[in-house]
Structure 1
Amino acid sequence: MTIGLPALELVGAAIGEGAGDSGCKYGAQALREFGVLRALHDAGAAIEDGATVVSDPLGADERLGVVEDFSPRLAAAVEGVIARGRFPLVIGGDHSCAVGTWSGVAQAIRPQGALGLVWIDAHLDAHTPETSETQAPHGMPLAALMGHGRPGLTDVYGWRGKLRPEHLVIIGARSYEAGERALLERLGVRVMYMTEVQERGFAACFQEARARVRQGTAGWGISFDVDALDPADAPGTGTPVAAGIRLDEALRVLESCIADPQLKAFELAEYNPLRDLRGRTARAVTALLTSALAVQTAMAA
C-alpha cells in the first residue's frame, strides 16, 4: 500500500430487481471470483473483502418496493465502512444501488458538509415514477438522491436532498427520455452528453467535472456505470449503448483518482456476468478499478 492512501473495503450490492435484466445482481460475486481483490492488492492497494447486501424480492410486491427495502441496508453498510476509516468500493448490482451507496456516504460526511458526485453513465437515471414508462428503479437513482420520487428512496435516514444539483455532473449520456432530461434542466444539473465528450475528450470533461463537484463540498465520489463504456470494450451489461467512452481513455483519465483525499467512495454498477462472454468485461472492469484505486505503479515510475 502506498503511504497515505486509505484502505479499501469492497461492499457487494447484490440487487438486480431494479433493471429489466436482473443478471447484474451477480456482478459483485462474479468479479470477486474473477480476482478483482487480488488484482487490486497486487497493484498496491490495501483492500479487504467486506459485506454483501442482498436484495429480497420476496419482501415486496413491486420492484420499487424491493429497492426501498434494500437502499437503507446498503446505506448502513457503506456508512459503516467510512466510520471505520476505510474507503468504500461498492460493486453492484443494477444502478438503483446508488440510492443506498450515496445516501450512506452523504450521511457519513454530513457533519462536515455536502456531497459531490461525478456520474459516468450512458443514461441519465433521473426519472421519477411519474415520468418513467417502464417504472424501472435503475432509471431513478439520481432523481431520488436529489429529493424527487417516492419517499422510500428520497428519505433514507429520514432526510432528503443527499445531493444538490450544483454538486452533480453527469458524463457520457447518450440514451435518455424527455421527462428525465427536463427534470435535470429545470434543476440546472451539468450534463456532458456523449457528443460533448467526443468533441472535447473524456479527459477534459472529467477534469471539469471533478473541479465542479469538489467546489463547496466536503467530499466527492464517482459512480461508474459499465454501460458508459463502448460495448466494443465492455459488452457485459444489461443496457449497452453504442459509441461510448473507450476503455483505454477511461483508464488514463481515472488513473490514481484514489490519491485525491477528497474522494470518499467509488461505485461500479451494471456489470452483468451473464452477458459477459469469455470474461471480456470482467477484464475491462478490473483494469478500470485497478487504474483508479491503486497507485503503486504510477507512484513508483
Structure 2
Amino acid sequence: MRREVRIIGAPTDYGANRRGVDMGPSAIRYAGLAAELDSLGRTCTDDGDLTVARAEERNPDAASTIGSAKFLREVREVCERLSEEVAATIADGAFPLVLGGDHSIAIGTMNGANRDADAGVVWFDAHADFNTPETSPSGNVHGMPLAAALGYGEFGEGWNPSAGIDPSNVALVGLRDLDEPERVAVRESDVTAFTMSDIDERGVGPVTEEALEVAADGTTGVHVSLDLDWLDPNEAPGVGTPVRGGVTYREAHAAMEIVADQGALRSLELVEVNPVLDERNETASLATELAASAFGKRVI
C-alpha cells in the first residue's frame, strides 16, 4: 500500500432519500482521521472536498429520462470529477481515501480506481446497491452504484457509468436488505454475494478472506467500499438506511484488519455517515477507527 494517503471529500446527498449525509466528510475529519493515519506512519494529504451544490438548489427530476432516478445529472457531474481525482491520485503514486457523501459516489471512485487497471471490488454493505433506474422503487441513486459501475441499466443523457470491472472479481459482504429485482439481478450476475447468514454460519474472518480472494484473483488491486450501514445500528446509528442485524464493532474491525493483511488494497471509500442522525459523532468516529484498521492499525 502506498505510504502517502490522499483524502478526497465528496459531500453529496443527491443519491440519498434523507438530507444530512453530505456532512459526512466533515464529521469523519472532525473525528480525527488525519491524526489516526499520521500515527500509523502514513503521510496524509487532505485535498479537501469537491464543490457540490446543495440538493435544494437543484431539480431532482431535471435529467430523469429513464425510470424514476433522481438527480442523475448532478450525480454524473460529481462522479466524473471524483473519477478524475482518484485516477490522478493513483497516477501520482498516492493512495485515494474517499469520504462520502452517499453511496452514489462509488461510481466515480470505481471509475477512477479502475482506469488503466483491472481492479476487483469488495462491497461491505447491508444493501446490494444493484438497482437500476428501471428497477429502483425509490429512484435514489445510492441504491444503484454497483450495478452502474458494472454496466447494468441505462442512465440516460449518453452517460455510461460503467467502470469496466469484471463482475467475477466483485464480492458483496454482509447483505441483509435487497429489493426483489436486486435479488434476481445478483443471482443472475457473476458477482459473489455473502449475506449476514453466511457471516453467522462461517464467521466474518473466513467470509472476508474469501471475498478478498475473489476480488484479488488476477487483478491489479482491490477497491474496498465501506458503507457504515453494514454495521448494526446499535454500533453505527448515524446512517440514512439502517437495517437491524448487521456486524458488530469487533467483527467490523476484524474484517478491516484482514483487508490490511491481504495487502492488495488499491483504494478505499467510507460512505453514508449522516451526522444529523448520529449520536455524539459516534458513527464518524467508528468510520475513522475502521479506516485505521484497514491501513494496518493493531492492538499490538
Q: How does the TM-score come out when normalised to structure 1? A: 0.90
For the 8 Å contact 2:260–2:293, the answer to whether it is kept is: no
- Tell me how far apart the structure 2 counterparts of residues 75 and 94 of structure 1 sit (CA, whole Å): 15
Instruction: Work out whether 1:141 is the aligned partner of 2:130.
Output: no
AA at the equivalent of 1:114: D
Equivalent position of 1:122 in the other structure: 126
Identical aligned residues as a percent:
35
Task: Provide the secondary structure at the position in 2 that maps to 1:128.
Answer: coil
Instruction: Work out whether 1:213 is the aligned partner of 2:202.
Output: no
**Number of positions where the alignment pairs a residue of Structure 1 with one of Structure 2:** 288
Equivalent position of 2:27 in the other structure: 30
| Equivalent of residue 47 in structure 2, options 50, 53, 57 | 50
AA at the equivalent of 1:140: M
- Tell me how far apart the structure 2 counterparts of residues 215 and 174 of structure 1 sit (CA, whole Å): 26
For residues 4-30 of structure 1, give each alpha carbon's deviation from its aligned partner in whole angstroms, at most 9, with x where no partner exists.
752111110111110001211110012
| Equivalent of residue 12 in structure 1, options 9, 15, 20 | 9
Cα deviation, residue 284, structure 1: 1.5
- Tell me how far apart the structure 2 counterparts of residues 294 and 211 of structure 1 sit (CA, whole Å): 18
Instruction: Work out whether 1:131 is the aligned partner of 2:128.
Output: no
Taking only aligned residues, the RMSD between alpha carbons, in angstroms, comes to 1.9
Instruction: Work out whether 1:102 is the aligned partner of 2:110.
Output: yes
Cα deviation, residue 39, structure 1: 2.0
Task: Provide the secondary structure at the position in 1 that maps to 2:123.
Answer: strand
Cα deviation, residue 220, structure 1: 1.0
| Equivalent of residue 236 in structure 1, options 232, 235, 238 | 238
Equivalent position of 2:77 in the other structure: 69
For the 8 Å contact 1:144–1:153, the answer to whether it is kept is: no
For residues 173-231 of structure 1, give each alpha carbon's deviation from its aligned partner in whole angstroms, at most 9, with x where no partner exists.
10110111211211122110111111111111000000111112111111000000011
Task: Provide the secondary structure at the position in 1 that maps to 2:218.
Answer: coil
Task: Provide the secondary structure at the position in 1 that maps to 2:287.
Answer: helix
Question: Structure 1 or 2: larger helix share?
Answer: 1
Cα deviation, residue 131, structure 1: 0.6
Cα deviation, residue 41, structure 1: 1.2
Between 1:232-241 and 1:4-13, the stretch displaced more is 4-13
Task: Provide the secondary structure at the position in 1 that maps to 2:229.
Answer: helix
AA at the equivalent of 2:282: R
| Equivalent of residue 249 in structure 2, options 243, 247, 250 | 247
Counterparts in 2 of 1:153 and 1:257: CA distance versus 1, 3 Å = farther
Cα deviation, residue 37, structure 1: 1.0
- Tell me how far apart the structure 2 counterparts of residues 8 and 209 of structure 1 sit (CA, whole Å): 24
| Equivalent of residue 160 in structure 2, options 142, 155, 166 | 155
Between 1:255-264 and 1:29-38, the stretch displaced more is 255-264
Counterparts in 2 of 1:94 and 1:249: CA distance versus 1, 3 Å = same
- Tell me how far apart the structure 2 counterparts of residues 8 and 35 of structure 1 sit (CA, whole Å): 14
Cα deviation, residue 68, structure 1: 1.4
Equivalent position of 2:97 in the other structure: 89
Between 1:87-96 and 1:29-38, the stretch displaced more is 29-38
- Tell me how far apart the structure 1 counterparts of residues 199 and 25 of structure 2 sit (CA, whole Å): 28
For the 8 Å contact 1:40–1:294, the answer to whether it is kept is: no
For the 8 Å contact 1:121–1:171, the answer to whether it is kept is: yes
Cα deviation, residue 262, structure 1: 2.5
Gaps of 5+ in 1: none
Equivalent position of 1:196 in the other structure: 198
Counterparts in 2 of 1:152 and 1:70: CA distance versus 1, 3 Å = farther
| Equivalent of residue 182 in structure 2, options 175, 180, 183 | 180
- Tell me how far apart the structure 1 counterparts of residues 98 and 260 of structure 2 sit (CA, whole Å): 14
Cα deviation, residue 55, structure 1: 2.9
For the 8 Å contact 1:145–1:154, the answer to whether it is kept is: no
- Tell me how far apart the structure 1 counterparts of residues 107 and 192 of structure 2 sit (CA, whole Å): 20
AA at the equivalent of 2:160: D
- Tell me how far apart the structure 2 counterparts of residues 267 and 168 of structure 1 sit (CA, whole Å): 16
Equivalent position of 2:65 in the other structure: none
